[in-house]
Chains A and B, each alone.
Chain A
């Protein structure tokens, strides 16, 4: 250590101690507040429920702009998680951003499948739920064309839908962190190793796959992160913004949905084991779903540090689709911070707007 640096440090010590003491006091006060209070209200952008059928919910967000683009957007949420990740709080809501930029936004969101919905199959999602929602969006908006945005497994469902219904009405497709090559989801591959994982036994015994199991499989990808998150929360509990953000993301991450048993069986066998989407042999309800048949303009946003869908699992999407107008963008961030939070506000959202606005008229 050199002398000037040491002198500077010594001069700073009383100020630093004072600051740390104040933070310690604030931690105690805020810690009590944290336990006593509920988190911020999430998903509060005004919306109308257009249709509910079992696990499927179709929302229409009320337009904000005086003039909107012709082509409405249908967001297809991942079946494992709730859609409010895209509508956190005002100022940090992707939905609100789209509305302000003049888009007409609909969302296909999911609730926990009921026990009797354990028999829902991939066909129900791809050949029934999504087409039904697209029809309702067309009817409600009065437009034939629809832009589809799929997040994570919502992207997979959108790809399957787009490859089967390749003659319309999907006008544009945007995928966020969507896996195509399931061999590259190494840890999930190992968790579901066909030599040891008896998916039939699991589904036959539990029906719907419990959310705890889904959550633990996500947590196992980064086993230390939840504990470290708690430590960081305690350190920063004096900081209201940090706490608000922590609570939003933590609530969403733990609000995992169960998966319909038959649907999970297909995911495991066709995608995890046989990698049919990558091989071009995937079929849904007897209809071939080859993503090479997708011809519409497509944007795929991937995250540089995605631990759930690693880049190797997502990178083939753009190569494999048949579209002439196609683009992949890799942005800084992880699987969730790509689409929500401060990182998304400055990176993904403006990028998406600049790509989509020209294709929405």
Chain B
């Protein structure tokens, strides 16, 4: 095996690692300054405003092209999520009914649950 200090691949990897640490540390120092916060939040505010305006403009354009807008797609996604949610509720209800039917006199028995009698290894011998 080649000596790590002479291995060009190991040297390259080491260099990348050091560069990552150095850059992160340098950037973190810069980001701790109040000036950074000021600039980022100003830019962020402007960007959020611009994005909102662009979104409104695009929506008008898509309506004129007879294409669904993002808001309409979101609305469809919401409806799908709502249907999924209702399906899950039905599933949960079925699960509950299934569990209840395990009671004496019920129909199909629910999958048996293991007993809650487990003890810690120190108290009950070896761990299962």
Q: Is the CB of B128 within 8 A of A102?
A: yes
What residues of B have a CB within 8 angstroms of the CB of A231 in the complex? 16
Interface string of B11-39 (1 = CB under 8 A from A): 00100110110011001100111101110
Would you list which residues of chain A between 202 and 241 have a CB under 8 Å from chain B?
A: 202, 205-206, 220-225, 228, 231-232, 235
Asked if A127 is an interface residue, CB under 8 A from chain B, the answer is: no
Asked if B106 is an interface residue, CB under 8 A from chain A, the answer is: no
What residues of B have a CB within 8 angstroms of the CB of A202 in the complex? 44-45, 48
Q: Is the CB of A143 within 8 A of B116?
A: yes
Select from chain A the residue with minimum beta-carbon distance to B7.
A16
Q: Is the CB of A196 within 8 A of B114?
A: no
Q: Is the CB of A67 within 8 A of B3?
A: no
Asked if A324 is an interface residue, CB under 8 A from chain B, the answer is: no
Q: Is the CB of B19 within 8 A of A70?
A: no
Would you list which residues of chain A between 62 and 76 have a CB under 8 Å from chain B?
A: 62-63, 65-70
Give bound CA distance, A49 to B95, whole Å. Answer: 9
Q: Is the CB of A102 within 8 A of B92?
A: no
What residues of B have a CB within 8 angstroms of the CB of A358 in the complex? 120, 122-123
What residues of A have a CB within 8 angstroms of the CB of B3 in the complex? 5, 8-9
Q: Is the CB of B20 within 8 A of A228?
A: yes
A198 touching B118 in the complex, CB below 8 Å, given contacts A52-B88, A63-B113, A222-B24:
no
Q: Is the CB of B88 within 8 A of A223?
A: no
Select from chain A the residue with minimum beta-carbon distance to B89.
A52
Give bound CA distance, A319 to B17, whole Å. Answer: 36
Give bound CA distance, A232 to B123, whole Å. Answer: 47
Select from chain A the residue with minimum beta-carbon distance to B3.
A5
Within the complex, the shortest CB–CB distance from A15 to chain B, in Å, comes to 9
**B interface residues, how many (CB within 8 angstroms):** 54
Asked if A191 is an interface residue, CB under 8 A from chain B, the answer is: yes
Q: Which of A5, A224, A228 contacts B6 (CB 8 A)?
A: A5
Asked if A326 is an interface residue, CB under 8 A from chain B, the answer is: no
Q: Is the CB of A225 within 8 A of B121?
A: no
Within the complex, the shortest CB–CB distance from A330 to chain B, in Å, comes to 21
Q: Is the CB of A69 within 8 A of B116?
A: yes
Select from chain A the residue with minimum beta-carbon distance to B49.
A205
Asked if B119 is an interface residue, CB under 8 A from chain A, the answer is: yes
A224 touching B114 in the complex, CB below 8 Å, given contacts A5-B3, A205-B52:
no
* Main secondary structure on B side of the interface with A: helix
Give bound CA distance, A114 to B114, whole Å. Answer: 38
What residues of B have a CB within 8 angstroms of the CB of A104 in the complex? 116
Q: Is the CB of A49 within 8 A of B114?
A: no
Q: Which of A101, A186, A361 contacts B119 (CB 8 A)?
A: A361
Would you list which residues of chain B between 70 and 128 have a CB under 8 Å from chain A?
A: 74, 78, 81, 84-85, 88-89, 91-92, 95, 111, 113-123, 127-128
Give bound CA distance, A272 to B10, whole Å. Answer: 42
Q: Is the CB of B45 within 8 A of A223?
A: no
Give bound CA distance, A355 to B84, whole Å. Answer: 39
Interface string of A166-190 (1 = CB under 8 A from B): 0000000000000000000011001
Select from chain A the residue with minimum beta-carbon distance to B42.
A196
What residues of A have a CB within 8 angstroms of the CB of B13 in the complex? 235
A52 touching B119 in the complex, CB below 8 Å, given contacts A190-B37, A191-B37:
no
Give bound CA distance, A8 to B1, whole Å. Answer: 8
Q: Is the CB of A190 within 8 A of B16?
A: no
What residues of B have a CB within 8 angstroms of the CB of A5 in the complex? 3, 6
Within the complex, the shortest CB–CB distance from B86 to chain A, in Å, comes to 9
What residues of B have a CB within 8 angstroms of the CB of A111 in the complex? 81
A190 touching B34 in the complex, CB below 8 Å, given contacts A49-B92, A202-B48, A225-B20:
yes
A9 touching B2 in the complex, CB below 8 Å, given contacts A50-B92, A102-B118, A231-B16:
yes
Q: Is the CB of A68 within 8 A of B34?
A: no
Chain B residues packing against A (C-beta within 8 Å) = 1-3, 6-7, 9, 13, 16-17, 19-20, 23-24, 27-28, 31-34, 36-38, 40-42, 44-45, 48-49, 52, 74, 78, 81, 84-85, 88-89, 91-92, 95, 111, 113-123, 127-128
Known: A65-B114, A68-B115, A201-B45. 13 other contacts (CB 8 A): A8-B2, A12-B2, A66-B114, A68-B113, A69-B116, A70-B117, A115-B78, A190-B33, A193-B38, A195-B34, A196-B37, A225-B20, A231-B16
Closest 5 CB pairs of A and B: A224-B23, A196-B41, A357-B120, A193-B37, A52-B88
